[in-house]
Amino acid sequence: MQLKKLIPLVAAAALLPGLGFAQEAAEVAETGMDSVERLNMEMVFIMNSLLFLVGGFLVFFMAAGFCMLETGLVRSKNATMQLIKNVALFSVATVAYFVVGFNLMYPLGDWVVEGWLGGIAPTVLEPVGVAFEDLDDVEYASIGSDFIFQLMFCAAVASIVSGAVAERIKLWPFLGFVIVLTGIIYPIQASWSWGEGFLDELGFLDFAGSSIVHAAGGWAALAGVIVLGARAGKYGKDGRVTVMAGSNLPLATLGMFILWLGWFGFNGASQLAMGTVSDVADISRIFANTNTAAAGGAIAALLLSKFLYTKPDLTMVLNGALAGLVSITAEPLTPGLGAATLIGAVGGVIVVLTVPLLDKLKLDDVVGAIPVHLFAGIWGTLAVVLTNPDATLSAQIIGIVSIGAFMFVASLVMWLILKAVFGIRVSDEDQVTGLDTTELGMEAYPEFSKG
């Protein structure tokens, strides 16, 4: 009796392997791959998408870092203006990038002018519940994760400009510039390298954007500073420079540390892959090099500011750390820890030497964005040849000049148009009163206002 009950079970057990083989055969027929190969591809897709999402929210947190750094380095009467500018610029950049910028930056072969200008089309995500077979690129990542990650770089360019032109620019013309910068100007030049344009074909290398992101933002900021002019009372006719100290150095320091943290996503996720052992090992290497470059920049700025000014300057140390991060961004993978530290240290030295240089040229950069992002970005792009054997000095120089010329000229034209049509600078009287009151009608620290 017991034997009769066992016979169906034994028969079913014997049939299961056959059913499994039949199912696998059906999958092979449908997708052209066996179940193990498909599982491997799914895991690569999942891990790459996860890398972009984690990297994306780390770089998003850098928006808070820029906001806190800038707000701490402006005077208290302009703090609210910096806060609203940073919230608004990120929001505006998000819309401009999905409507135009993302596909302009990544033409995927659909060039209007081959290698130079991509097509204009809004970003379209995968359908809800998309099947494996319907993915556009199963060996890469989801469109949504890629868009989010790349958007954060785009918004960072606008944040760089925000700090440089602080304390004397009108809100609405600034946001108008951000729309064009993030929707058109930045994506066009980024497509030349990351979109497989002409700079990529020349062999120009910029791993995570020392030139493509940071120097690009620095060039746009430089054009804005030139057209906008200095803050009222900053430079005297006798060559005197009036120090306009920031209102909240603890807040600025917090902003620097937030940026330092976000940079792990900025550089680490630029590996663009996390589906293999070597990819994960490389990401770990990038994290370590990114960190030590920041430390090198901070130490160099600390020591040099002590030597030049007899006492260490906190703002120089903050910007020195950031310059170290910018410097290593073009190539955070190939250096060893020692080389990464030295590359970052040179960035710190550059900041300490070029901040006073801008004052001599009467270029009023409130937060030191141009020394940190433009000058250190150029250095970092050149430094790639020191550790990456695939880099050539000629290609790096061509990339720096091409990006710089386009970003500066396009930004300059846009600033001049805004100045002529709307006016971009608040009056000297409003600057004395403060933009919080005159432009916004509210103060960040109302309990400390007079009266």
pLDDT tens track for 157-198: 999 999 999 999 999 999 999 999 999 999 999 999 999 999
The span from the CA of 378 to the CA of 400, in Å, is 7
Mean pLDDT over 138-149 rounds to: 90
Counting residues of the chain whose pLDDT is more than 70, the rounded percentage is 92
Q: Extract the tokens encoding 156.
A: 């960072």
Instruction: Identify the pLDDT of residue 2.
Output: 52
Bigger pLDDT: 96 vs 444? 96
Going by the DSSP 8-state scheme, the letter that residue 231 receives in this structure is: P
pLDDT of residue 126: 85
The residue behind tokens 């901070």 is 298
255: pLDDT strictly greater than 50 = yes
Name the pTM for this structure: 0.89
Tell me the C-alpha distance between 426 and 442, whole Å. 17
CA distances from 72 to 166, 248, 295, 443, 447 (A): 12, 4, 21, 14, 17
In DSSP notation, 75-140 reads -GGGHHHHHHHHHHHHHHHHHHIIIIIHHHH--TT-EEETTTEE------PPPTT--GGG-S-TTS
Q: For residue range 397-413, what is the model confidence (pLDDT) as tens digits?
A: 999 999 999 999 999 99
Mean pLDDT for the stretch of residues 63-68: 97
Q: Residue 241 pairs with which residues in a beta bridge?
A: 235
Q: Given phi > 0 = left and psi -120 to 50 = alpha, else beta, which region is 399? A: alpha
Cα–Cα distance between 368 and 352 in angstroms, integer?
10
In tens, the pLDDT along 98-113 reads 999 999 999 987 889 9
Nearest to 327 by CA among 313, 339, 315: 339
